[in-house]
Structure 1
């Protein structure tokens, strides 16, 4: 079992970037900004997905760090019971049509083994396309949270999805520097992922 790299985040006080990097560092910078009278909304985003990161910034810096989620690991904790606990197999419900169940039942290894094999094949064959989709969603998520009240938001969003990089750059020129720089970095990453996925 190995520990996955800490989540990389970025924090904004309104439209001003106050920190970027590992979650612990960003949490401490956000705590400091909050205690110093942050001027705008204090928002923290996962740098890869642009999902908001919710932190409890009450108390001392040590309190804030103590409440951070533990580092992720690449395996589920081993639970004893029926099945294959060492593999981390988790039972969940799957709803299929009768013809799908019939086909699965006729496959070597049974339904579960066949479904696992199909999922792994799809993950491998669609890796680039999935990365491009996720990178695009990250841009959209960040823009929705941070640029909705800025000039040319809608036009910039359309330019992003159309992959009109020059137009996107033009439309975002008037945005606050930190937001503009971050959204352009996200957009470039998404366009590069889209080229790799084509």
Structure 2
């Protein structure tokens, strides 16, 4: 098995045959590794950024860098300021919220952008913990949903109880545990 050392799970995939990790790396690397396999064992490929299982086209002529799992691009919008990356969308608020926003310097749009940026900055650690837990859970439920103590491990994961979580997954296959440890690395940092 060849693995690629990536600091970030972005654009990284991990493939399993049963509970054995057989490939990891970029989409092109994983496809190349899987195409070299000669057995017919069922494969499970996971997006490391989301923990979701994905389908890959392993036919010899298919492009290795395809984006079959990516969502189709939305049609171009005509409202907003597209050259600046500003996209107009609908926001539903109570009248008192609109009144407050309209009284802010720069109007509602500027005030909303400032509020969102402040919330992003304040919640960055909590958002990382939540994302790590959700990614870990998606992977767990796809590959280990029928293993002993899955429900208890899931509860411990979302409760942020690392010791209990590790206790419940201790009997799981090594490759599953090690990949899960990588995905859940940020799940335990919440205060």
Calculate the TM-score normalised by the size of structure 1. Answer: 0.77
**3-state SS of 1:188 partner:** coil
CA distance in 2 between partners of 1:109 and 1:187 (Å): 41
Aligned residues: 178
Residue pairs, 1:11-22, within 5 angstroms: 11-22=15-26
Residue by residue over 1:49-99, the C-alpha shift from the partner in whole angstroms, topping out at 9 and shown as x without a partner, is 212333333343xx2315247x9xxxxxxx796643321111111111111
Contact 1:6 1:23 in 2 (8 A): no
**CA displacement at 1:115 relative to structure 2:** 1.1
Residue pairs, 1:1-198, within 5 angstroms: 7-33=11-37, 36-40=38-42, 42-60=43-61, 63-68=62-67, 83-191=80-188, 193-194=189-190, 198=191
Instruction: Could you tell me which runs of 5 or more consecutive residues in structure 2 were left unpaired when the two chains were aligned.
Output: 1-8, 71-75
**CA displacement at 1:185 relative to structure 2:** 2.7
Contact 1:24 1:68 in 2 (8 A): no
* Greater Cα offset, 182-191 or 105-114: 182-191
Instruction: Could you tell me which runs of 5 or more consecutive residues in structure 1 were left unpaired when the two chains were aligned.
Output: 72-78
CA distance in 1 between partners of 2:134 and 2:124 (Å): 15
- Alpha carbons of structure 1 residues 66 and 145: separation in structure 2 relative to 1, 3 Å: closer
Question: Of Structure 1 and Structure 2, which has the larger fraction of its residues in helix?
Answer: 1
**3-state SS of 1:21 partner:** strand
- Alpha carbons of structure 1 residues 66 and 132: separation in structure 2 relative to 1, 3 Å: closer
**3-state SS of 2:45 partner:** strand
Give the CA RMSD over aligned residues.
2.7
CA distance in 1 between partners of 2:138 and 2:125 (Å): 20
